[in-house]
Structure 1
């Protein structure tokens, strides 16, 4: 995986930070998409009784907005509480703001909606990290956040 990773320059005087490459990001996206799909099933099961147990029709615009809100809360909560969704954790990536600390709700809101824009442009916002000198996607830059490799956790075991 090191061939797809690159050191990026931080603030003057700061140490170098490794940024995950495109393939690692996409691995995390796929993991999170599978988990989000399961969350959508559960969220649908919760509101289905309010629709008389019937499937939602194409003219019921509430349902897609409901799933969008569920997605926003899903990502926002994980990103503001530890900076890692399960996909990010599995691929050993963490979301931080430009200062290297946890992102706030304003930043994750901007990141969420900018990532939707990145996907709406046929994924070009994600592919951008291949060509960006700091390995950042559009939504990284717009939200002033970045993906990094977290510091290794210290084990409680002593040798």
Structure 2
């Protein structure tokens, strides 16, 4: 892809994330319902439930980032993810980005302030995963 990364500012990233959160709720309800059915209607172990939430979330993002370079929330806001080295985005990059995004979520989005100080407009999750977002 091109060298220049168009800055996708925190507000636009957060609004796309909120859109994706509501889609993820549907995925979580479906996965939870299936897990509950497979468990004979008994409540799941909390750690198993948390594992299912994390794995289904990773699967959601991995599927959309590998097939089309954007989630549905990103598509609404005309944002696309790409690899900084110009190649197809990899599972490793997706996994790193996903884990760093969880950390950013727990820190209330504060690490996104790095976008304003980076010459290329990259956040910490972009830098660590060697990916970036651009406006299409």
User: After superposition, where does 1:120-135 map in structure 2 within 5 Å?
Assistant: 120-135=106-121
Distance 2:109 2:56 in 1: 22
Q: Which of 34, 37, 43 is the equivalent residue of 2:31?
A: 43
Q: Does 1:72 align with 2:67?
A: no
Distance 2:114 2:105 in 1: 11
Task: Report the TM-score, using the length of structure 2 for normalisation.
Answer: 0.88
Structure 1: gaps of 5 or more residues: 1-8, 11-15, 151-159
Q: CA RMSD in A?
A: 1.9
Residues 32-56 of structure 1, C-alpha deviations (whole Å, 9 max, x = no match): 0110111101111111112321343
Structure 2: gaps of 5 or more residues: none
What is the Cα deviation at residue 24 of structure 1?
1.1
| Structure 1 residues 33 and 112: alpha-carbon distance in aligned structure 2, compared to 1, 3 A threshold | same
Aligned residue pairs total 135
8 Å CA contact 1:125–1:138 kept in 2: the answer is: yes
Match of 1:148 in 2: 134
Match of 1:24 in 2: 12
Residues 51-84 of structure 1, C-alpha deviations (whole Å, 9 max, x = no match): 321343xx53111011100001110111111111
What is the Cα deviation at residue 146 of structure 1?
0.1
8 Å CA contact 1:95–1:148 kept in 2: the answer is: yes
Match of 1:33 in 2: 21
Residues 85-123 of structure 1, C-alpha deviations (whole Å, 9 max, x = no match): 000100000000003443111111111111112223332
| Structure 1 residues 141 and 24: alpha-carbon distance in aligned structure 2, compared to 1, 3 A threshold | same
The higher relative CO (CA closer than 8 Å, separation ≥ 6) is in 2
Task: Report the TM-score, using the length of structure 1 for normalisation.
Answer: 0.77
Please tell me whether Structure 1 or Structure 2 has the larger radius of gyration of its CA atoms.
1
